[in-house]
Structure 1
Amino acid sequence: MTNLNEPTAENIEFMIEAIKSKLRMATAAAMQASHFSTARYEDIKEIYEIVSSKENFSISEVEALVSELGQLRN
């Protein structure tokens, strides 16, 4: 298990990849970890924790989460 307590680029990449995989994002290629700053680490971690805690998502939930991620991009 990765230690997600440190705001590193590697942790951001781990979380973004996990989110993309879990949400089965059609636009996953557009969501690169390099587009996110460690300054937004806590926000990204919060989305990661939400995504990790649920088994299934409605279309509107996926859209809302993807929209939120989009707002966190550099």
Structure 2
Amino acid sequence: MNLSEATQENLAFVINGLAEDLQVVNRSIMDAEDYDIRYYDQIKDLYDMVQMKGQLSVSEIQAVVGELGKYRKS
């Protein structure tokens, strides 16, 4: 899968991957439809960072989830 393109399918893949990596219990807050495709590059950067980092601390998880909140549709 080529994640360099900002498509709704890629956004869904990235959001679902983040939800899994961040061990989000309430998956309804991680619905790809709720995120603005205009921010795909920023969301993808978060995804890449989480993938490279591997294990995150609780405060890092909270920071990533907080950052994702900025990219939700109004």
Q: Determine helix, strand or coil for the equivalent of 1:6.
A: coil
Instruction: Give deviations 1:14-66, integer Å, cap 9, x for gaps.
Output: 00000000110123222210011221111111001011112211000000000
How many aligned positions are there?
73
Q: Give percent identity, aligned residues only.
A: 36
Look up the SS of the partner of 2:5 in the other structure: coil
One-letter amino acid matched to 2:49? I
Q: Which runs of 5+ in 1 are unaligned?
A: none
CA-atom RMSD in angstroms: 0.9
Unaligned runs of 5+ in 2: none
TM-score (norm 1): 0.92
Q: Give yes or no for the alignment of 1:24 onto 2:23.
A: yes
TM-score (norm 2): 0.92
